[in-house]
Structure 1
Amino acid sequence: MNGLYWFRHDLRLADNPALVALSKRCSKALMLYVIDPSWFKPTNHQSKHMGRFREEFLYQSLRALEKELKKSKQRLVVKVGNPLEIIPQLCKKHDIDLVAATDHPGVYERQQLAYLNRTLSCEVMVSESFNLFLKNQISFNKEDFPQTFTQFKKKISAQNLLPCIPIAKPDSLPTLIDERRDLWGGQEFVYDLTPYHGGEDSGLVQLNQFFWKTQGLKNYKATRNGFDGWQFSSRLSAWLANGTLSVRTVAAELDNYEYRHGRSDSTEAMYSELLWREYFQWMMHFFGSSMFAFDGIKKKRPLTSFYCQNYKAWEQGTTEYPIVNACMRQLNQTGYMSNRGRQIVASCLVNELGVDWRFGAAYFEQQLLDFDVATNYGNWQYLAGVGADPRGQRHFNLEKQAKDYDPDGSFVAKWATATPSESLLRF
């Protein structure tokens, strides 16, 4: 049997049920990743789907995946174009009997798989590994979806749900089906993302560093609201977003840590963050395109619009609010912003500047190294008052936030003179 494995947000070999299943059923297989040029084109909200930092991290992750596949005498075939055109062509050319992929809650991602399932003559097999829990474990649906994170957390606890246990990588991979690669070999990385580096091994190294080598997890409860530095938070979000690291692997390691050191406020806070991620994934699964709508999942229209001058000042970090400027300049220079910073700048854009939240969400989508569609748009709806916030809207006191989380002004001072780097995209 000939197979085609379509890598998307699962750029790893470990804890990849779809890849394991394909490897057991197929004697030959093509390992595919498709780069869609539409990712690099402007959207209706001024920004591109993917900016330079995440693009660089993606290329690093693909190179790392290629290296791992070579150990099993396989290779990664990277194609450029529309996957819904490329995959049918490859299936016909190589007499593919089985296409396998990992499920993802994104609207775009689910539409793609639905189309292939309808149009391909071969079998399309989809497995779940992007979330902590499986669909058949979740007891609620769209109609009774928990309106707040607290309700979600209580439901999970009441059901006594435990995260799925991660599985090992395939014992072996099918013999490769050779195919020309459109974009591979010889790419030079323009941006230094250090200490970030894409790839499964790098994600596991960071997991090990934060949990075991440093005091990161031990002190997480006290440090997680920091603005800058490497060890104040886990920094695992970038690897989780493109699937070079499985969220189930993180949960299993957290369980192992608690077994050895006991449960603490910090480990509970860490698990709570994993559940926040999970909450937004299921929100995206059930509400789909409403996650991108101006009135959100609550169908509540905010009193905001688009003011170009205000938006540009926010984007460039030239507002009248120093803490907001520092956060935005950090984002523009590094592709990263702390969770606390993201809440502050989102509140400012919506409340102080009166700008439609979707422009901020789209800019984050372009700039963030760790962009995840469900988490990003779920959080922006939360801050804009059209999502899962029980208060209706989050309006931060910017001066108080600066005093509480940057009391000596060192973070603001560090980024006071930083200017955004010019964007460079390959498409």
Structure 2
Amino acid sequence: MVEGHAEVEITKLIKQHKISYLACSECPGTYEKQQLNKLREAAPHLTILQENTDTLFNQFDLPFELPDLPKHFTPFRKKVESLTIDAPLKAPDWLPPPPETATQNFFSIQTAPTNSPLFKGGAVEAKKRLNYYSYQSQKLLNYKQTRNGLLAFDDSTKLSPWLANGNISAKEVYHHVKRFERDIQANESTYWLYFELLWREYFQWYLYKHGTRVFQFSGVKGTSPLTSFWPERFEKWRTGNTPWPIVNAAMRQLNSTGYMSNRARQLVASCLVHELNLDWRYGAAWFEQQLVDFDVAVNWGNWQYLAGVGADPRGHRRFDLEKQAKQYDPDGSFIKTWLTHQEIEQMTASKIDSTDMVDWPC
């Protein structure tokens, strides 16, 4: 392992060890593509072999050309959900010994401690989690009913960090679920995990199609939201000090663990865009920095969706935060986990903006 900027450190290794071939996964992210182009420029002799390892389907499997990707998820789902998904390739039985230089310590690496105590990296841990959630605990059978839970770790699969980091593939998860359906039971919940994988899939192709437009203020729709940027409001949102305890608890959880549930992500995004009237890109960028399961396509695609500039056919998905808190945290357990009683009282009585005499014009 090496530490540093990918294009810089990989270029050093290529030149130092006269490497002529590089194999890597294809990524829809524009920044990642720029990194690869810099590598090509720095090492023009290098042959780069790319394979799409992150999606359920290859582009030539799709029943439409990429420019014709449906504008919304549901038409996409209806077109692809019955398609055959190739089984992942089996790991080789053996590998030849590595070259002598591969065993050298190229750099002294200082491993930084993770800020998330919830997850251990690696393919072995990913498969452990998948087996636990399906065959061992059979919590998969209730996934649809529990997936919006805010507090319990097993409310959802929690596979997203391993998917985002390439420790397990969407194909592996899909075929594992199909095997579980044959061995144990198929129900609405087992289908719903596939349904959620299709959402993830849609955003991958969404980014492949739209490129840099996914990161622009006006989004894919080209319509600018009626938002601006107030540093004080963003700081309150970022640190979990808004007038909405449900939002604050979720942001405290994110900042402490690097994770928050799907439902919580929708609520805090709705708050930033529709209650605080802030530029959605700041929220997406903060998630990118904090999330242990950051996926460029899923993160920015979902933020566009909530901001009304992306793939949402309704275009203005605003959540009633008090109603959502009563529905998904009826006894306040989630909020009380991350906020003290005194903080809850103070936040509920607080205002979005603080004003004093110096704020008023002369």
Tell me the TM-score normalized by structure 1.
Answer: 0.75
Q: Give 1:115 shift.
A: 4.2
- Give the aligned length: 338
Which residue is 1:156 aligned to?
80
Query: Could you tell me how far apart the structure 1 residues matched to 2:4 and 2:198 are?
Result: 35
Aligned partner (choices 93, 96, 108) of residue 31 of structure 2 = 108
Which residue is 2:51 aligned to?
127
Are 1:181 and 2:106 an aligned pair?
yes
Preserved contact between residue 79 and residue 181 of structure 1 (Cα < 8 Å):
no
Preserved contact between residue 211 and residue 257 of structure 1 (Cα < 8 Å):
yes
Aligned partner (choices 299, 302, 322) of residue 245 of structure 2 = 322
Preserved contact between residue 116 and residue 124 of structure 1 (Cα < 8 Å):
no
Query: Which runs of structure 2 are paired with 1:17-416 in the superposition (5 Å)?
Result: 77-81=1-5, 83-117=6-40, 119-157=43-81, 160-170=82-92, 171-178=94-101, 179-184=104-109, 187=111, 189=113, 191=115, 193-416=116-339
CA RMSD of aligned residues (A): 1.9
Preserved contact between residue 150 and residue 261 of structure 2 (Cα < 8 Å):
yes
Secondary structure, counterpart of 2:259 in structure 1? coil
Preserved contact between residue 80 and residue 183 of structure 1 (Cα < 8 Å):
no
Distance 1:399 1:120, change over 3 A: same
| The 10-residue stretch of structure 1 (161-170 or 221-230) with the greater mean CA deviation from structure 2 | 161-170
Q: Give 1:268 shift.
A: 1.2
Q: Which has the higher helix share?
A: 2
The residue type paired with residue 332 of structure 1 is N
The residue type paired with residue 78 of structure 1 is V
Q: Give 1:92 shift.
A: 2.9
Tell me the TM-score normalized by structure 2.
Answer: 0.88
Preserved contact between residue 323 and residue 402 of structure 1 (Cα < 8 Å):
yes
Query: Could you tell me how far apart the structure 1 residues matched to 2:335 and 2:11 are?
Result: 52
Preserved contact between residue 86 and residue 171 of structure 2 (Cα < 8 Å):
yes
Q: Which has the higher strand share?
A: 1
The residue type paired with residue 85 of structure 2 is P
Query: Could you tell me how far apart the structure 2 residues matched to 1:396 and 1:285 are?
Result: 29
Preserved contact between residue 305 and residue 354 of structure 1 (Cα < 8 Å):
yes
Secondary structure, counterpart of 1:296 in structure 2? coil
Preserved contact between residue 2 and residue 9 of structure 2 (Cα < 8 Å):
no
Percentage identity across paired residues of the two chains? 46
Query: Could you tell me how far apart the structure 1 residues matched to 2:324 and 2:283 are?
Result: 20
Preserved contact between residue 59 and residue 66 of structure 2 (Cα < 8 Å):
no
Preserved contact between residue 130 and residue 173 of structure 2 (Cα < 8 Å):
yes
Preserved contact between residue 103 and residue 126 of structure 1 (Cα < 8 Å):
yes
Higher relative contact order (CA 8 A, sep 6+): 1
Secondary structure, counterpart of 1:219 in structure 2? helix
Query: Could you tell me how far apart the structure 2 residues matched to 1:377 and 1:334 are?
Result: 20
Secondary structure, counterpart of 1:197 in structure 2? coil
5+ residue gaps, structure 1: 1-76, 420-427
